[in-house]
Amino acid sequence: MKSLFSQGPLLSARLILFVIISIVMMTMDHRYQYLENLRSGLSLILEPLRQAIDLPFVIIDSIDENISTRAHLLSENEELRTKNLLLKGQLQKFSAIEAENMRLRTLLDSSFKVGDKVLIAELLRVDLDPFTRQIVINKGSNSGVYIGQPLLDADGIIGQVIHVSRYSSIAMLITDPSHALPIQMNRTGQRAIAVGTGRPNELELLHIPSNTLLQEGDLLVSSGLGGRFPAGYPVARVSSTNNIPGRAYLHVIAEPTAHIQRSREVLLVWPAENPLDEPMQSDVGGSKG
């Protein structure tokens, strides 16, 4: 090779010769495909070398793709986690709204059964004093609320209004120790007084003779006596009776039919005998009559 390209007078002639040979070989290969087998053999021999040269670039591209894919997956996962959290929050809100709609629907259904004028009110506050059972509602004198007005939920009597301001009112629950309610046993028609015990779901019946035909589960309804609560509203069901030896009266405990501890909305009732334009203005003490 060194002598082939050495300087001399024959250098130009040799160069021309090689160019002619190259042109002839390319022409023959292009026309007659004489060198195809040679090229195939050389490609087969050089393929491992080509793959070895390309391998670092393939590895680098694969690593870059994996890193990019992982970063994209992490970003997408974080986005989906955020959306999932937001959807869960919305679902909780929708569940609360659905529960509220069900309660309101139940109240409206019960108002049709009552047949008197009614108004739905929401609880604003519950008195935490352990010796009283009172609530604050969001309706007042601007809505026609009056002292002594009965409060119900979908299942029975809750209490009565004892104080009215313009936009809110205070109501005493039937479980308050100072509250008394004239009731009537739905099965036998016998009348009695149900007083609050101060416990959340317990009333006590006073002056029930020991020979009274009273059974657990008997429904107690308002008798209408005393002029506060209209007759026929559910009040409680008898939960236990105890005949104490030597006593003339039974010790009777009843559980209110109203969901006093769970109600979020209540019905203010205007009985037919006490129309809205002639509200009753008596004091709370009359509820014990």
- Domain containing 59: what range? 21-114
Q: What is the residue-averaged pLDDT of the chain?
A: 78
In this prediction, residues 3-26 reach a mean pLDDT of 70
Percent of the chain topping pLDDT 70: 74
- Whether residues 101 and 138 share a domain: the answer is no
Closest to 184 measured CA to CA, from 228, 236, 149? 236
Give residue-wise pLDDT tens across range 215-243.
Answer: 899 999 998 888 888 888 889 999 999 88
Q: What is the pLDDT of residues 198-218, one digit of tens each?
A: 888 899 999 888 888 888 999
The tokens for 68 are 């990019």
**pLDDT exceeds 70 at position 279:** no
Specify the higher pLDDT residue, 54 or 2. 54
How large is the average pLDDT for residues 156-166? 94
Q: Report pLDDT for 7.
A: 53
CATH of the domain at 196: 2.40.10.340
**8/175 Cα distance (integer angstroms):** 128
Q: Are residues 134 and 259 in the same domain?
A: yes
Of 284, 208, 201, residue with least CA distance to 243: 208
Q: Is 4 a member of any domain? A: no
Residues 6+ apart with CB under 8 A from 287: 148, 160, 172, 179, 180, 181, 226, 228
Residues 155 and 257 sit within 8 Å (Cβ to Cβ)? yes
Give Rg (Cα) of the chain: 47
pLDDT value for 72: 79
Statement: residue 99 has pLDDT above 70: no
Compare 141 and 94 and report the one with higher pLDDT. Answer: 141
Instruction: Say what the pLDDT of residue 163 is.
Output: 95
Q: Do 201 and 165 share a structural domain?
A: yes
- Asked if 155 and 224 sit in the same domain, the reply is yes
- 126 & 108 share domain: no
Q: State which of 114, 132, 160 marks the end of a domain.
A: 114
Q: Which of 114, 129, 164 is the last residue of a domain?
A: 114
What pLDDT score does 84 carry? 75
Domain count, the chain: 2
- Considering 80, 114, 148, which residue would you say is the last residue of a domain? 114
CA pair distance 187, 212, nearest whole angstrom: 12
Is the same domain home to 210 and 273? yes
Which residues are paired to 270 by β-bridges? 117
128 and 234 together in one domain: yes
On whether both 139 and 101 belong to a single domain, the answer is no
Q: Could you give the residue ranges of the DSSP H alpha helices within the chain?
A: 11-32, 36-114
The answer to whether residue 7 sits within a structural domain is no
Range scoring the smallest mean pLDDT among 63-67, 260-264, 275-279: 275-279
DSSP 143: G
- The answer as to whether 94 is a domain residue is yes
pLDDT higher than threshold 60 for residue 282? no
pLDDT (average), residues 84-104: 62
Q: Does 6 fall in a domain?
A: no
Q: Distance (Å, rounded) from C-alpha 74 to C-alpha 79?
A: 9
Question: Residue 112: is its pLDDT beyond 90?
Answer: no
Q: Which range has the top average pLDDT, 79-83, 213-217, 246-250, 272-276?
A: 213-217
Res. 275: pLDDT tops 90: no
Q: Do 236 and 122 have their domain in common? A: yes
pLDDT of residue 105: 64
Q: What is the pLDDT of residues 15-68, one digit of tens each?
A: 888 788 778 777 766 666 666 666 677 677 777 777 777 777 778 877 877 777
Residue 159 in domain: yes
Say yes or no to pLDDT of 280 above 50. no
Q: What is the DSSP letter of 258?
A: S
Determine, yes or no, domain membership for 2. no
